[in-house]
Amino acid sequence: MMFDAGANVRVKDDWPESRGPVHIRTPHYVRGMQGTVLRRLGAFPNPEDLAFARPAPVRALYHVRFDQPAIWQEGHAGDEVVVEIFEHWLEPA
Amino acid sequence: MDKDTPRAHHDMGGAAKFMCEAVDTAPHGLTDFDKQVDAIRGILGAKQIMTVDELRRGIESIPEAEYHRLSYYRRWIRSITAILLEKGVITEAELRAALEAG
């Protein structure tokens, strides 16, 4: 699924690391969190497959902005956390 | 303030247990060992034998206690060794013989 800048998204609340060996670039602290797409950074072979030397389909990578206080219960309104997240971890919010 | 989640041990961003320790921001000198490991990784990448993604996966799969005990480049060589064994690039016997030969 493609997202435009400004799109409201939610990071999947999924924990593949509890199901077996994986390599994941989506930090634990944004799983299930809502954010806003800032920009599309490009498209890259999926590192989750590259890490196991599997054929790696190209996936879009986005900068997604989150409210920091919602993630870590600290900081001030307007503080933000920006994370690079691949498209297959995002769903419309 | 950790969420009750099955966070992988290397995925430590924002984890409360690491927020009480001051970060050592002093420049670290590289040992000869560090440089050799880095060179090995560079050669394996240039020859398309293993990727940095595989390197990271191998580092992340080091058991938690060892992961925190090992230096940065010792994690690398642990991962490189495991990946090369896994892919059949080297055998256990070859590794053992090389280590014994010093």
Q: Which pLDDT value is given to residue B1?
A: 44
Contact across the interface for A28 and B7, Cβ inside 8 Å: yes
Residue to test with chain A: of B3, B57, B64, most A Cβ within 10 A: B57
Answer for the pair A50, B54: CB distance below 8 angstroms, yes or no.
yes
Query: A25: domain CATH number?
Result: 2.30.30.50
Asked whether residue B3 carries a pLDDT value surpassing 70, the answer given is: no
Asked whether residue B12 carries a pLDDT value surpassing 70, the answer given is: yes
What would the mean pLDDT of A23-51 be, rounded to a whole number? 98
Only one residue has tokens 């420049």, namely B27
Please give the ipTM for the structure prediction.
0.90
B8 shares contact with chain A (CB less than 8 Å): yes
Tens digit of each residue's pLDDT (9 = 90 or more) over B40-58: 999 999 999 999 999 999 9
What would the mean pLDDT of B90-96 be, rounded to a whole number? 97
User: Three-state DSSP class for A83?
Assistant: strand
Residue B8 has its nearest CB partner, among A17, A29, A74, at A17
B29 shares contact with chain A (CB less than 8 Å): no
Q: Which of B102, B100, B66 is nearest to B82 (CA)?
A: B66
**Percent of residues, chain B, with pLDDT higher than 70:** 97
pTM: 0.90
Asked whether residue B2 carries a pLDDT value surpassing 90, the answer given is: no
CB-CB neighbors (< 8 A) of B86 in chain A:
none
What would the mean pLDDT of B18-45 be, rounded to a whole number? 91
Domain with A81 in it: 8-92
Higher pLDDT, A10 or B2: A10
Residue B11 has its nearest CB partner, among A27, A52, A74, at A27
Tokens of B26: 């002093």
The domain total for chain A is 1
CB-CB neighbors (< 8 A) of B56 in chain A:
23, 47, 51
Tens digit of each residue's pLDDT (9 = 90 or more) over A68-83: 999 988 899 999 999 9
Residue A83: count other Cβ atoms within 10 Å of its Cβ.
Answer: 20
- Does residue A1 belong to any structural domain of this protein? no
A52 shares contact with chain B (CB less than 8 Å): yes
Q: Which pLDDT value is given to residue A26?
A: 98
Contact across the interface for A73 and B1, Cβ inside 8 Å: yes
Residues 37-66 of B with CB under 8 A from A: 50-51, 53-54, 56-57, 60-61
Contact across the interface for A29 and B51, Cβ inside 8 Å: no
The values of phi and psi at residue B31, to 5°, are -85, 170
Asked whether residue A36 carries a pLDDT value surpassing 60, the answer given is: yes
